[in-house]
Amino acid sequence: MELGDSAAVIPDSFMGYRDDITMQMTMILDQIRAPLIVPVLRLAVYICLTMSVMLFVERVYMGIVISLVKLFGRKPEKRFKWEPMKDDIEHGNSVYPMVLVQIPMYNEREVYQLSIGAACGLSWPSDRIVIQVLDDSTDPTIKDLVEKECSRWASKGINIKYEIRDNRNGYKAGALKEGMKKSYVKSCDYVAIFDADFQPEPDYLWRTVPFLLHNPKLALVQARWKFVNSDECLMTRMQEMSLDYHFTVEQEVGSSTYAFFGFNGTAGIWRISALSEAGGWKDRTTVEDMDLAVRASLKGWKFLYLGSLKVKNELPSTFKAYRYQQHRWSCGPANLFRKMALEIMTNKNVTLWKKVHVIYSFFVVRKIVAHIVTFIFYCVILPATVLVPEVTVPKWGAVYIPSIITLLNAVGTPRSLHLMVFWILFENVMSLHRTKATFIGLLEGGRVNEWIVTEKLGDLKAKSATKTSKKLRFRFGDRIHVLELGVGMYLFFVGCYDVFFGKNHYYLYLFAQAIAFFIAGLGQIGTIVPNS
């Protein structure tokens, strides 16, 4: 008996049984294909096309608005009154508003000195500013380091307060809320908030406070983020592209039209009376910043975005840290929408158009539809049409709309235009994680209130000198991501099917996207370093 003779090894009865099972499965699939699979898939295509059009119209609308803003020069100084602060010989420093600067932190060993140093370096009359370090650290060594740093600045004459709690209830929102209860805060007019990795320039207050001082209906002035480590790896470059669009277009459009946008949680300065009127900090979701912004807007307060004012900060440079951040940023807004949709609709302090903007544009399209359609349509439904050729996707939905949306996104970061293909693959990969988080938020699943502080690495330029010059560091991530690997296998299978039997010729896209999912599944995205 030869080893290659399978008939001699496997009984004829078993071979026949296997063939019967295969034929039966094929017959069952053929029987349900026309009455069930095809109609369901066709319905899914229609739904996805509708969501794609919603996203397309929103992006085109924002593109038109931002073009008009740039064309007609609607600068903040023209829309709101702004006059530089002037010294008053008679009244002295009392003419300057009292400013509170809050720095919430949690085990920030790598960046605590940078943030505290930058806050203490803010140019403002020393008797009219209070630096408040809210340290929720659980590591006693780090806690001691932060306290000593505060003491060091206090010895230089800086009015700095080191505040701790005996619990972490409410996480960041809880820390900020407790900080506002301190007796010395009662004399403060405005509060500026900076996360532990943010480093404001010395003139930050001189450029923001006058807007609040001369415009009593203005509650918030938000600065733009400037990324110090965008060139750290390919993943940080992709993040830069997405966030630059957010700041260059989304925040600017919201500020210029409805004087509303989502507070970014840091690099912004609030009027304390507006913050209090809106109900203060709440920890019911993981987006306490957005929660506060929506509530303040419903009270009739206006917001201003200053794109020309940039505050340095750090992007997550590990895939693990980025996944945690994106879960919070995707789950939180969906959960907040669930909690506030009715309150927004029944509010009587704002116009109908502003309600439509907040509910439809801000929440539904940008925070829910954008995530869902990216994954479901481009990573599930579109590949499925390769296996079911009876269902077709029109070229305008499969090619033209996503191409225009992608090009519009490139407006924010023209220097990365050559990385656009990588950005598309990266965003599609992350859309799986974001879609899952969005449904958790909408359905209030088990991880709805999960809060894991984004890991920071601190002074990356100094540390980069010790790194090797390798473009790709081969090491497995902290864990294998099964869902990403599963989607990668699905796309690879469909790609192979398209090569041999398909008519759609999507196989190049399918193979490229499958590889991207495999890389993400192995936790390797953060290890790839771009050439430029």
Tens of pLDDT, residue by residue over 346-404, are 999 999 999 999 999 999 999 999 999 999 999 999 999 999 989 999 999 999 999 99
Question: Which tens digits make up the pLDDT trace of 156-211?
Answer: 999 999 999 989 999 999 999 999 999 999 999 999 999 999 999 999 999 999 99
Domain count, the chain: 1
Residue 51 placed within a domain: no
Q: Does residue 298 contact residue 343 with C-beta atoms inside 8 Å?
A: yes
Range of the domain at 273: 81-326
Instruction: Give every CB contact of residue 300 below 8 A, 6+ residues apart in sequence.
Output: 217, 349, 350
User: What local confidence, expressed as pLDDT, does residue 530 receive?
Assistant: 58
Residue 357 placed within a domain: no
Q: Above 90 in pLDDT, residue 150?
A: yes
pLDDT-derived band at 528, boundaries 50, 70, 90:
low
Structure tokens at 480: 């294998």
Residue 13 placed within a domain: no
Residue 313 placed within a domain: yes
Residue 97 placed within a domain: yes
Q: How far apart are CA 214 and CA 332, in angstroms?
A: 34
User: What local confidence, expressed as pLDDT, does residue 26 receive?
Assistant: 66
Q: Treating both helix axes as pointing N-terminal to C-terminal, what angle do 420-443 and 319-346 enclose, rounded to 10 degrees?
A: 50
Of the residues 197, 244, 289, 291, only one is catalytic, namely: 289
- With CA atoms as reference, report the closest residue to 528 among 410, 407, 423: 423
Report the CATH number at residue 131.
3.90.550.10
**pTM of the full structure:** 0.88
Residue 90 placed within a domain: yes
pLDDT-derived band at 73, boundaries 50, 70, 90:
confident
The mean predicted confidence, pLDDT, of the chain is: 89
The fraction of the chain above a pLDDT of 90, given in percent, is: 71
Q: How far apart are CA 185 and CA 530, in angstroms?
A: 46
Of the residues 135, 136, 244, 283, only one is catalytic, namely: 136
pLDDT-derived band at 499, boundaries 50, 70, 90:
very high
pLDDT-derived band at 465, boundaries 50, 70, 90:
very low
The fraction of the chain above a pLDDT of 70, given in percent, is: 89
Residue 212 placed within a domain: yes
Active site residue 289: yes
Q: How far apart are CA 412 and CA 66, in angstroms?
A: 11
**Which of residues 489 and 460 earns the better pLDDT score?**
489
Residue 411 placed within a domain: no
Q: Could you identify the residue written with the tokens 């009244």?
A: 91
Q: Above 50 in pLDDT, residue 142?
A: yes
User: What local confidence, expressed as pLDDT, does residue 87 receive?
Assistant: 78
